[in-house]
Amino acid sequence: MMCPDSSSNSPKASMVRAPVCRPHRPTLLADSLVFIAGAFSALLLFWILSSILSPATPMTSFSPSPRYYSSSSFSPYLHFANLSIHPDLFNDTDPDLLRDPPNSTFYDDPSLSYTIDRHITDWDDKRRRWLRLHPWLSPAPGGRERILMISGSQPNPCRNPIGDHLLLRFLKNKVDYCRRFGIELLYNNALQHPKMRTYWAKIPIIRAAMIAHPEADWVWWVDSDAAFTDMDFQLPLRRYRNHNLVLHGWPNLVFEEKSWVGLNAGVFLIRNCQWSLDFMARWARFGPQDPDYVQWGQRLKNEFKGKVFAESDDQSALVHILIRERDLWADKIFLEDSFYFEGYWLEIIGRLEKMSEMYLALERNVPPLRRRHAEKVAAVYGRMRDGELERQGAETGPAGWRRPFMTHFTGCQPCSGDHNKKYSGENCYQGMLRALNFADDQVMRVYGFKHTELESYGVTPLPFDYPAA
């Protein structure tokens, strides 16, 4: 069963119990009278105002449809009702978005479920059939595959007083990156399975999103505490054409040293296909909704040295599956270690100023890189800059000065504030602010501004021909 204990805390359940605390009758009656009087005067005021504010003669250009209009009863909304039927208000939708052929698809199958507890079969065929019915949403032959980025955070406010602000900055960073490359972003704030919280919450939403987005070839999960720190870099999708799951990781650390930190499960690319649905179903078996969850926690703790908490987490479960069921899954999983698919923040934030300096020096020597341009063509200059970086031998990684693609604030817990005791809260906060502003400077550049300093909220206009001027 999906959620055995959900009825006890659902809003419905508390409504059923509500009569127990109903106040005595007289109070209720008095309250109602006060309420009715108040509502009546508000209504009267609204009616008077709306008569004054509306034009005396009807706007004749509107063509009202009687379907939406009822003259039989008094309604203070009368004058506004006609607005809702002006054809201009409904006639700007892209015609392609107004087409969904009636031919039956998996959406019409009552047994197909969005929830993680129910199996889907033949997904590749189902998706292909849907795409055949919607050819305008299929990728062009040889075209770039479609990516849906998903990120998310808890449904309730953050405990850390600046947690929600930090999440907003991290979200802005993702919105900026997605806008530059036309990637769609889904931000999730709900628990699709009430027991699958924190690091388990991503699996149910990814699964549901694959069904809701059959046009997407890939889902790119990005933890809320990870920031893009190279706004020009794009994922090398061709390299992953024979794989279904891509993570930042090191094969020798996973398969030889059997380390649970040999990969990072906070950022990954997963193909929208049957393999991925099967893999996520397997992966989810280690989650809190499974009866063996507690037992798995102990087993994973015993299995991996350095894992101090006896709780089954998504990352050690993933490493466990990779090692123990290598024949089943490993050939479709790509561990990317040639660039910062996501990078450990402590390894990065101390080098940000140096990177900025090196990039500015590069631009002083290459005038075309200084040409002002529209954001829509920013990729042209990104490509040009990458070429120059290659030529100059700029390296990625801890020893190089190439911007890291993504910086991940693992252990900083911006929302709860319960950062790992290894780090100080100040370090985490400064690190996040610096990385986010470092990225923001790359975005603001095409708007003609930059932050006065990496740790500053303030911005300053850029002169023409910056940074030569």
Ligand X SMILES: *[C@@H]1O[C@H](CO)[C@@H](O)[C@H](O)[C@H]1NC(C)=O
Among 3, 112, 133, 185, binds ligand X (CB under 6 A): 133
One of 50, 82, 234, 427 touching ligand X (CB under 6 A): 82
Near ligand X in 181-240, by CB under 6 A: none
Which is it for the CA torsion 237, 240, 245, 246, positive or negative?
A: negative
Q: Which amino acid is at 161?
A: P
First to last CA, the chain: 66
Per rule CB under 6 A, is residue 87 in the interface with ligand X? yes
Cβ proximity of 169 and 240 under 8 Å? no
DSSP sequence for 292-332: THHHHHHHHHHHSTT--S-S--HHHHHHHHHHHTHHHHGGG
Taking CB under 6 A as the criterion, which residues in 406-425 touch ligand X? none
Number of residues forming the site for ligand X (CB under 6 A): 13
CA pair distance 449, 61, nearest whole angstrom: 45
Per DSSP, the residues of 96-113 read GGG----S--GGG-TT--
Helix (H, G, I), strand (E, B) or coil at 228: strand
Among 3, 47, 76, 79, binds ligand X (CB under 6 A): 79
Query: Binding to ligand X by residue 306, rule CB under 6 A?
Result: no
Q: Which is nearer to ligand X, 70 or 416 (CB)?
A: 70
3-class DSSP state of 381:
helix
If the CB atoms of residues 29 and 59 are measured against ligand X, the closer one turns out to be 59
Q: Which is nearer to ligand X, 101 or 448 (CB)?
A: 101
From the CB of 98, what's the least distance to ligand X, in Å?
10
Q: Among residues 91, 93, 156, 338, which is the contact residue for ligand X, using CB under 6 A?
A: 91
The whole-angstrom separation of Cα 198 and Cα 323 is 24
Q: Which of residues 13-72 bind ligand X (CB under 6 A)?
A: 58-59, 62, 64, 69
Residue 90 C-beta: closest distance to ligand X, Å: 7
Q: Write down the least CB distance from residue 55 to ligand X, Å.
A: 7
Measured from the CB atom, is 99 or 132 closer to ligand X? Answer: 132
Tell me if residue 422 falls in helix, strand or coil.
coil
Q: How far is the CB of 44 from ligand X (least distance, A)?
A: 20
Q: Which stretches of the chain bind ligand X, using CB under 6 A?
A: 58-59, 62, 64, 69, 79, 82, 87, 91, 101, 103, 132-133
